[in-house]
A and B are shown apart, each in its own frame.
Chain A
Amino acid sequence: MACSDSDYVYLGKLVQAQSANVVDPARKTLFESRLQPLVRVAGAANLEGLVGLLRESRSAPLHRAVAEAMTINETSFFRDVKPFDLLRDEVLPQLIEQRSAERRLRIWSAASSTGQEAYSLAMLLVEHFPQLARWDVRIIGTDLSREVIEYARRGRYRRLEMNRGLPAKLLVKHFRRDEDEWEVSEGLKALCEFEVGNLCVPSVRTFAFDLVLLRNVLLYFSKPDRTAVFREVHRKLSSRGFLVLGNAEQAEDSTELFRAEFSKDCYFYRPIFDEVRNRI
């Protein structure tokens, strides 16, 4: 027997409660294909069986696993190119100037997926800002999915991933080929760390990040959830920090905590403090 419509509605709600991702219950084949591996792991006969298990158990790991399995992890090196030109030409020079006394930079690749964004940032720093070699620089990638975080930590990429967005001269400089995989250099790995984290669960971490990349994740969220995430990012961003969103994303429709700026053919955001903050 197949799942009923209400089973898909239930799955959609579960995913949204766990990860804020809105998945239309009408996308039945998407649920089916993504959750198939979990059906087996959970020992269910089919998707309907899995839904049964989910409904009757409060087993947090199983509920989480469903949300993780439904994430879209699409990413690539130097995705969209332009934001990285913006970082190189405008944002990083300003941050380096601002932080020249402490010589410390904290960068957050939020919803990092398999790590290409964080390693692209690391390459950008190494290639264009050699002075940072003597600074305390950390690029922190976080993602809801444990699987992608482990992948990012390993730092080994396949041909399909290496083909995507990575300039040839950076490939030969920062990757070592091993059979049919390429491994990120130790130098880049040393700049990056990855940890599991849910954007919707406020973390106790007290870093003041100088730069946050929050790209291609909020487009899957509802407006109230986007608002909540912006509030959390605002809290974690240093007062003179920068926020970069994905190509198709904007902050204006769901928060008043950031103001948009435009440069190098690219939008980016600065946090607003004081009077606005008191209002919210």
Chain B
Amino acid sequence: MRALIVDDSSFTRKYLREHLARLGVTCVEAQDGTEALEVLRREEEFDLTLSDVNMPRMDGLTFVKSLREEGLGPAMKVMMITTETDNSFITRALAYGANEFLMKPFTSQSLKEKLLLMGFAGTA
């Protein structure tokens, strides 16, 4: 299984990468939405994207909206990982094509459980 991690914080990217590695997931990283779109346009083989929301250049909501509009990896699941927790925000993210959402800070257990929810059974 392959995942794309999109976050401007190298600390968060490392944290996610290490946790996912333990679950047997291979990760590619991008620092913002713009870079992530470039990665996705180059190689489409991702099962999952984990994206932050507040990032320079292109934020996470614009990113998920764009990738869905461009039809990049149509079967790919997208989970937003963010400190934004308003219902209105989550609703918007889902409408733009995100599948799940995890609030910061989170535990590795909650990450596993979200992966299970999205149908990645072997990872839990």
- Which residues of A are in contact with B by a Cβ distance under 8 Å? 76, 78, 80-81, 159-160, 162-165, 167-169, 171-172, 175-177
Given contacts A78-B117, A177-B85, contact A168 B106 (CB under 8 A): no
CB-based contact A164/B85 at 8 Å:
no
CA distance A175 to B86 in the complex (A): 11
Please tell me the size bucket of the interface on B.
20 to 34
Q: Which of A80, A172, A177 has the most CB of B within 10 A?
A: A172
Complex Cα–Cα for A149 and B18 (A): 37
Given A159-B85, A159-B103, A167-B100, A81-B90 contact (CB < 8 Å)? no
Cβ contacts B63-102/A at 8 Å (1 or 0 each)? 0000000000000000000000111001101100011111
CB pair B100–A168 under 8 Å, yes or no, is yes
Return the contact of B110 from the options A160, A168, A176 (Cβ within 8 A): A160
Output the nearest chain A residue to B98 by Cβ-Cβ distance.
A168
Is the C-beta of B35 less than 8 angstroms from some C-beta in chain A?
no
For this complex, 17 residue pairs linking A to B, each with C-beta atoms less than 8 Å apart, are: A81-B116, A81-B117, A159-B85, A163-B102, A163-B106, A163-B114, A164-B110, A164-B113, A165-B113, A165-B114, A167-B100, A167-B117, A168-B94, A168-B100, A171-B87, A171-B90, A177-B87
Taking the closest CB of chain A, its distance from the CB of B106, in whole angstroms, is 5
Name B's A-contacting residues (CB within 8 A): 85-87, 90-91, 93-94, 98-103, 105-107, 109-110, 113-114, 116-117
Known contacts: A78-B117, A81-B116, A177-B87. The answer to whether A172 contacts B110 by CB under 8 A is no
5 further A-B pairs in the complex, CB-CB below 8 A; given A165-B114, A168-B90: A80-B116, A81-B117, A162-B103, A164-B109, A165-B110
Q: Which residues of A contact B94 (CB under 8 A)?
A: 168-169, 172
Q: Please indicate the chain A residues that have their CB under 8 angstroms from the CB of B93 in the complex.
A: 168
Q: How far is the CB of A266 from chain B (nearest CB, A)?
A: 12
How long is the Cα–Cα vector from A78 to B93 in the complex, in angstroms? 22
B-side contacts of A76, CB under 8 Å: 113
Which residue of chain B is the closest to A162 with respect to CB atoms?
A: B103
Q: Which chain B positions have C-beta within 8 A of A78?
A: 117
Picked from A80, A159, A172, the residue with its CB within 8 Å of the CB of B90 is: A172
Chain B residues with Cβ below 8 Å from A175 are 87
**Complex formed: what's the CA distance from A216 to B124 in Å?**
17
State the CA gap A76–B110 with chains docked (Å): 9
Closest B residue to A175 by beta carbon equals B87
Query: Quick one: which of A164, A168, A171 has the most chain B CB within 10 A?
Result: A168
